[in-house]
Amino acid sequence: MPSQTGQNKKDILIIGAGITGLSAAYKLHGLFNVTLLETSSRTGGKLHSVDFRGKKVDVGPDSFLTRNTSAVDLASKLNLSEHLVAPARQGASLYSRGQLRKLPIDLALGIPTNLISVLSSQIVSPLSALRSATDFFWPAKLPSFTALLDAAENTEASLPPVGYPDPSIGRLLNKRLGKETVERLIAPLIAGINAGDINHLSFAATTPELARAVSEKRSIVLSLRNYKRQASPGGKLKTTTPPFLGLNTSLASLTESLTENLLAAGVNISLGVQATEIALLPRDTKHWEVSIRQNNMSEEKVYFDGLILALPAFATADLLAKALPEIASLCQEIPFSSVATLLAAWNADEMPPIYGTGFLVARKPKKLITGVTTLSSKWTHLSDTGEVWLKISAGHYSDDRVTTLDDETLTSAMIKDTKSILGIAKDPIENLLFRWENAFPQYNTGHIERIMKIDSMTAAIPTLSLAGASYHGIGIPACISDGIAAADKLSSALQ
């Protein structure tokens, strides 16, 4: 049960102890009495490591983008900077047209910036590479995404501009670059990161930086080439930080360290406690009444001055259904997809060399797996075992087989796909399956408008914040930033 030890300090409840909720708590502790509620038996949410063959291995995310510096900053505050490591290898392949082919290095999130390298990669047929060149001669300009993205970033704006364009990635790119290039090259990359379907994912919501870069330009390829040049280490936005980083103590040690720090600072973290309903009481203080259920099924009500819901949107929708039905129904509209990851180890002499950090699988051949990360080559700290360790992924928005197949069938289907792509006969020495049900929020067309509505409704309630991967970005740095923004909002309201 959460204790409320308030001595002049206001009481804040954060529901959900993933990276978002923990980051919010880290920002607020000391200023307020902070309680964190988590329904599962551990903190960290999607950040999770297990003991695999004697080492700590991440089964969820294992790296993050450094462009948004919030994860690097957080690691530094937690004295983890010395453990930050860049992947030991660069580059990856794509399984397309019956074999593994090196991905061109000059892609902007999967979108080509150089059609010669697309042609030489042979990922698409020569005719399709040629078809993509129509982008250079397309008579109409690309849509203007700037007004929508500006409005979304402006916390005062409550609605998007009238008649704003919000095409899906597929709809925008198919006609310019041709269906085969989009399906075989772009879809596995962009949709792979989001476990999504490019025919539903909003171009502006999923890749806002690219949408800004191509806004009102003539050619997608040329404007992204320019964007890449500016973003490269030698370009205008000079940086020496590698684009991706992980932790040699496992990425999950970020949330483990956050948890230890919060406990040491006196934050009350209650595990195995599920929030079941929220009521807004008409009084000046402690107007949030939260019904909670403990593991032993005992139920009670607890009262707080401020509330942060750092939960997947569908869980927030359930909690707010009675108190704030309009916000709840907008949250309920955000779709989610499920994935599975399989850790698998082979003896090194049974495995052919795998280029770079692994490979993605084009959706066309209808394989179950969507990608493979070669953990033992990507991370130096996992490379000294004489074995090849793979993290194999399956499942996306348009393929729910990971939720319908039983463990044994799913595991053997994932291994079968991997063996057939790599041309190996032997089964792994050991494997471990993880299911991530409803793990990836889908930023489908209409997402930005929906989030703007949610933001404007919650702006009118100063003691409530919604935060996490469902809203302003699914990557770990975006979740940390969102948790901090949620904390700042409550700080201003309650101090």
Binding region for ligand FAD (CB under 6 A): 15-21, 37-40, 45-47, 60-64, 274-275, 310-312, 315, 339, 341, 436, 439, 468-469, 474-476, 479
Q: How far is the CB of 479 from ligand FAD (least distance, A)?
A: 4
Pull the structure tokens for residue 456: 């404007």
Cα distances from 310 to residues 48, 370, 429, 474, in angstroms, run: 17, 28, 38, 13
Q: Rounded distance, CA 59 to CA 434, Å?
A: 7
Instruction: Return all residues near 407 (Cβ < 8 A) that are at least 6 apart.
Output: 433
Give the total residue count for the chain: 495
Nearer to ligand FAD, 294 or 383 (CB): 294
Q: How far is the CB of 217 from ligand FAD (least distance, A)?
A: 28
Residue with smaller CB distance to ligand FAD, 110 or 160: 110
Which tokens is 378 given? 């990507």
**Which residue's CB is nearer to ligand FAD, number 132 or number 357?**
357
- The smaller minimum CB distance to ligand FAD, of residues 112 and 483, is found at 483
Nearest distance from C-beta of residue 321 to ligand FAD, angstroms: 12
| Contact by Cβ (8 Å): 353, 466 | no
Tokens, residue 130: 């040629």
> Which residue lies nearer to ligand FAD by CB, 17 or 57?
17
Q: At 48, is the secondary structure helix, strand, or coil?
A: coil
Q: Are 281 and 289 in contact (CB under 8 A)?
A: yes
The smaller minimum CB distance to ligand FAD, of residues 21 and 358, is found at 21
Closest CA to 200 of 478, 403, 399: 399
Residue 387: CB minimum distance to ligand FAD, A: 22
Determine the longest span between alpha carbons in the chain, in angstroms: 72
Distance separating alpha carbons of residues 85 and 252, to the nearest angstrom:
14
CB of 421 to ligand FAD, least distance (A): 20
The answer to whether the CB of 262 falls within 8 A of the CB of 268 is no
Q: How far is the CB of 177 from ligand FAD (least distance, A)?
A: 26
Shortest Cβ distance from residue 125 to ligand FAD (Å)?
31
Task: Write down the residue that tokens 């025919």 correspond to.
Answer: 199
Q: Judged by CB, which is closer to ligand FAD: 115, or 258?
A: 258
